[in-house]
Amino acid sequence: MLKDTKLVPPTLGLLLLVSLLATHAHHSNRDTASSSTPAYQHDPVYRPALDEARSETSIDPLWLGTPSFDGQGILVGIVDTGIDVNHPDFTDPETGSRIVGVFDRGDPTGPPPPGFVTGTYYTEQNIQDGLVSQTDENGHGSILAAIAAGNGASSKGLYQGAAPASQILVAKVSQDAEGSMPEAWVVDGVRFLVEEAERRGQPIAICLGFQSQMGPHDGGTSLEQVIEDLTGPGVIFCAPAGNQGNASVSDQASASTGDFTLSVQSYTPTPGTGQDFFAVGIWVKETGSPSVRIRSPFGFVSSTFGPGSQTTTETVDGRLFVANPAGTNPLNGDQLILIQVDDEAGDAPGSGNWTFEMSGGSGSASAWVYDASMFVAFPESDHSVSIAQPATSPSVVAVAGYKTRNDWPTKTGTTTYPPLSDLGQTDLGDLAPFSGRGPTADGRVKPDLAAPATMIGVASGDAMNPFGVDRQLPSGSYVAYEGTSLSAALVTGTLALMLQKNPLLQPQEAIAILRSTARADSFANHGFSPTFGEGKLDALAAVTRVPFGLGGPGDLNFDGSLTVSDLTQMVNFVVDPEGHPLFGDARLRADIYPAESGDGFVNASDLARLANLISNVPDTPETLSESVAVSLRQNSPFEFECQFSGAAVRSGQFELLGSSQWKDVVVTSDSDISFETRVLEDRLRVVWVSIPEAPNVVQFKVQAQGQEHARMTNPWLADNQGHRLSILADTFEPNDTLEEAYGPLQSAVTVESFISVEGDKDYYYLDAQATFLTITLTQIPEGADYDIFVVDDQNNILFFSDRPSTLDEDIDVALGTEGRYWIRVEAVASEILFSDTDAYLLTATFDPANQPPKVTLLAPNQGTFPEGSQTEVLWTASDPEGDPLNYTVEF
């Protein structure tokens, strides 16, 4: 999205729900309801929108840390004007091009990508072989790719992007050298990137470096709804706030008695027709029958256009077209009125003030100029809600831009901004005047944060539009550029680093981390502003706060545990590597034989070892040639059975039967107790839930294949207030029978405690020697909202969750290192469970003075209990009167 005060004529459309047809050959000063209407289409048509930028945002230290984060194994997706596949910044000297695929949506030559019916897809092999005819005529896509992922090869590393080791995937969706992007093409481009990333098994950070003002600015465009459907774990979109923040393109008025004044600056009409025009969209909320009447600069007054109108009128101030469809727009429930004035009848749009008088509505109306060939503005605009789409989507990271340079080096010397220009009068560090402002039309917080946007050194592609000497940098094929799309590209690269640390990072988690780590200064204050969002990008702080991703060797689906799902993926790959390929980190994780480092190959040996790991069987030196059979059978909606068999699995047959729900049982001292089991992937959880009538002493047993493997005794108090206890057995207590079947085993048992939460805010203090935390929410009222924060003693947020509750939901948090942590919960009548597979609850103290409960988790002997040992756990708590409540658990 380059900074630009003029827009080009509209080209394609999909959003408007009325037909827009042909033209009139004469003009008059009267309304004419005609069967022929303008041949313009009014869907969004999107426009294009390092050196010091990296140091300004603390990216460089991430490359040098231990571990380092440079984007290795992560895809950076670009939906824009294409890419210069030959630029050195996109090439690795050892492995060749870092571009792994290009989809040219506008090239009908073919073949298209799988699942698409048009366009041309250049595979990774095509690119390596130099068989690519796609070019970036505009250059904007190459710029975004360089900022997000360039390696700076042409500048000896000076102009590196944020994620220089990442791979690049491109969708070219522009239809001309000016960079116009039809929405249908953009949708295809977005779909391609997400589907290809899924096929490759790699996380992807996607940069949407374009803008449009055509739409409701509330996340309700067709494109934004597609993005909402496609985004998810490991798929995160980023978009600029737009470059029309100071262009007065937006205004608000009453839909019943208000009016909009649009000023058309004096200009020289372009000869011919189809050259001069402006177009406005008015979105009306709430109910009523919104209507509009239009006054032109030279006194023409139209009739009132009510719902159901679609009219062309020829005037001395240009041809007027109005479409006011009956009913609400299905995308967001608003009512849409479109107005276009053009020169198709011979007279160019008149200069001066145009007035759009509203009546008949019952709510508010918002207007945006979404296209114009001359300078137009709402003089009464306060510049709010000028943020462009798709940055208004709830799941897209929306990025504003600020000024970071007064001057820059060029091939002819040093260049500065003209002193009287907008940027010349802007202080370093202040918002770039062109940066789009929030909030969204429905009042949501956007943009999320800001990043550098002025005169950033970027790669200049061979097919790029020429730049003057005042923009050409002395180092290689680079130019100085500005615009909020550059800010978005920098944040996209940062997202790639965040995904490298946690491949399953959720979009809302990423947004929360970027917001909470954004830094404040004299321009960007703490707390949301419609200009800077929550502050300025601090990439080092953001990546540091991301919890490490789950899993390790053998965990092919990145869910943090070795399960049947991983084994299924391994079987499919070993049997049919071309039909079920593994890419990126998933491919590296599959190579686990003879040890985690692998041998460079993925074959039956890796498959056999993964099956052993899932069954908790120690490694064996021998490799058997017999195949492994894996079956998954669902017995009922709440039960399933997994079975591994085959001589390659040393443990023999291994079965787990369990339920996906908790179960309350009435327990007394003489009850014949039965237990509800809950299978968590490869772990067997045996659960007992307490009731108001407290039992005396209850014995718990864990059994598998008829053998008893663990036992516990628990005396409960008569005034038990609903505390719950569970046993988690990752492996079973060894005995002779089991050793024959499974080989040597170690036992790890976790005791978990539920703590009731009432009220708006509760704080739990946690001393954790374990590095992994599971927060389980149970019995939450349907539809309740809750926020969960995990912070360290420096108040750094390690984890944030903000989403509607679901019953029996497990939330995993990787703490990273031993330390002291706080857990804050903002919820309504929920229950929080703290646990760790290598830890058990030692103490829980409830201060009678309403202080936050203090909880300590310890991991004795790394969670291993030697055979025959007895471990006693004392849980001491105080009730509201301060009387001690003691519980003892014996293993």
Q: Rounded to 5 degrees, what angle do the CA atoms 374, 244, 299 make?
A: 40
Catalytic residue among 250, 309, 393, 485: 485
Residue 55 is predicted with a pLDDT of: 63
> Can you tell me the distance from the alpha carbon of 729 to that of 477, in angstroms, rounded to the nearest whole number?
60
- Strands 396-402, 449-452: pairing is parallel
Residue 368 is predicted with a pLDDT of: 92
How many other C-beta atoms lie within 10 A of the C-beta of residue 620?
12
10-residue mean pLDDT series, the chain (891 residues) = 29 23 26 34 47 69 73 94 90 87 94 92 93 89 91 78 94 88 93 93 93 86 91 95 88 93 94 92 87 94 92 93 86 88 93 95 90 92 89 94 80 76 82 90 91 78 55 68 90 95 90 91 84 92 80 73 78 79 74 74 77 63 29 29 28 25 31 34 30 30 34 28 29 33 28 33 39 47 55 68 54 58 46 32 30 32 33 32 33 26
H-helix or E-strand spanning residue 91:
strand 91-92
Q: Rounded to 5 degrees, what angle do the CA atoms 801, 806, 809 make?
A: 70
3-state secondary structure of 887: strand
Q: What is 147-185 written as a DSSP string? A: HHH---GGGTTTT--S-TTSEEEEEE---STT--EEHHH
Residue 860 is predicted with a pLDDT of: 31
3-state secondary structure of 607: helix
- The yes-or-no answer on residue 382 being catalytic is no
Residue 355 is predicted with a pLDDT of: 96
451-469 residues labelled b (16+ CB within 10 A) or e (exposed): bbbbbbbbbbbebbeeeee
> Can you tell me the distance from the alpha carbon of 349 to that of 267, in angstroms, rounded to the nearest whole number?
10
CB neighbour list of residue 423: distance below 8 Å, 6 or more residues apart:
403, 417, 432, 433, 454, 482
3-state secondary structure of 96: strand
Q: Exposed/middle/buried for 652, CB within 10 Å: 0-12, 13-18, 19+?
A: middle
Q: Rounded to 5 degrees, what angle do the CA atoms 409, 413, 414 make?
A: 50
Residue 729 is predicted with a pLDDT of: 31
Q: Cα–Cα distances in Å, from 544 out to 326, 547, 627?
A: 52, 8, 43
- Strands 235-240, 396-402: pairing is parallel
Phi first, then psi: give them for residue 735, nearest 5 degrees: -155, 175
CB neighbour list of residue 294: distance below 8 Å, 6 or more residues apart:
300, 301, 302, 305, 320, 322, 339, 354, 355, 356, 357
3-state secondary structure of 827: coil
The structure tokens listed for 883 are 């009387």
Catalytic residue among 24, 27, 140, 709: 140
By C-alpha distance, which of 96, 219, 89 is closest to 153?
Answer: 89
Whats the size of the chain, residue-wise? 891
Name the maximum alpha-carbon separation found in the chain.
Answer: 101
Residue 297 is predicted with a pLDDT of: 94
- Strands 762-768, 854-858: pairing is parallel
Question: What residue type is 629 in one-letter code?
Answer: A
- Strands 772-778, 785-792: pairing is unpaired
- Strands 809-814, 797-804: pairing is unpaired
Instruction: Using CA atoms of 85, 88, 89, 90 in order, give the dihedral in degrees to the nearest 10.
Output: 40
> Can you tell me the distance from the alpha carbon of 307 to that of 579, in angstroms, rounded to the nearest whole number?
54
H-helix or E-strand spanning residue 54:
helix 51-56
The structure tokens listed for 121 are 């897809």
H-helix or E-strand spanning residue 497:
helix 484-501
> Can you tell me the distance from the alpha carbon of 873 to that of 753, in angstroms, rounded to the nearest whole number?
12
Residue 771 is predicted with a pLDDT of: 43
By C-alpha distance, which of 639, 572, 641 is closest to 602?
Answer: 572
Q: What is the pLDDT of residues 137-176, one digit of tens each?
A: 888 899 899 999 998 887 777 778 899 999 999 999 998 8
3-state secondary structure of 324: strand
Instruction: Using CA atoms of 608, 612, 617, 619 in order, give the dihedral in degrees to the nearest 10.
Output: 40
> Can you tell me the distance from the alpha carbon of 82 to that of 101, in angstroms, rounded to the nearest whole number?
11
Q: Is 336 in contact with 441 (CB distance < 8 Å)? A: no
Q: Is 417 in contact with 386 (CB distance < 8 Å)? A: no
H-helix or E-strand spanning residue 253:
strand 250-254
What is the 3-state secondary structure of 610-663? HHHHHCCCCCCCCCCCCCCEEEEEEEECCEEEEEEECCCCCCCCEEEEEECCCC
> Can you tell me the distance from the alpha carbon of 592 to that of 847, in angstroms, rounded to the nearest whole number?
49
H-helix or E-strand spanning residue 568:
helix 564-575
- The yes-or-no answer on residue 460 being catalytic is no
CB neighbour list of residue 516: distance below 8 Å, 6 or more residues apart:
534, 545, 797, 800
* Residue ranges of domains in the chain, CATH in brackets: 46-246+383-513 (3.40.50.200), 250-377 (2.60.120.1290), 547-645 (no CATH), 661-891 (2.60.120.380)
Residue with tokens 């649009």: 262
Q: What is 506-543 written as a DSSP string? A: -HHHHHHHHHHH-B--SSS-SS-BTTTBT-B--HHHHH
Q: What is the pLDDT of residues 111-128, one digit of tens each?
A: 999 989 999 999 999 999
The structure tokens listed for 160 are 């590196």
> Can you tell me the distance from the alpha carbon of 144 to that of 456, in angstroms, rounded to the nearest whole number?
11
Catalytic residue among 80, 251, 342, 371: 80
Beta bridge partners of 561: none
CB neighbour list of residue 792: distance below 8 Å, 6 or more residues apart:
798, 819, 820, 821, 822
Q: Is 103 in contact with 172 (CB distance < 8 Å)? A: yes
Q: Is the dihedral of CA 80, 86, 88, 92 positive or negative?
A: positive
By C-alpha distance, which of 592, 582, 606 is closest to 553?
Answer: 592
196-220 residues labelled b (16+ CB within 10 A) or e (exposed): bbeebbbbbbbbbbbbbbbbbbbbb
Q: What's the distance, CA 221 to chain centroid? A: 18
Rounded to the nearest 5 percent, the helix, strand and coil shares of the chain are: 15, 35, 50
Question: Whole-prediction pTM value?
Answer: 0.60
What is the distance between the terminal CA atoms of the chain, rounded to a whole angstrom? 64
Instruction: Using CA atoms of 123, 125, 129, 130 in order, give the dihedral in degrees to the nearest 10.
Output: 20
Rounded (10°) angle between helices 604-614 and 564-575: 170
Residue 5 is predicted with a pLDDT of: 26
- The yes-or-no answer on residue 878 being catalytic is no
Question: What residue type is 725 in one-letter code?
Answer: L
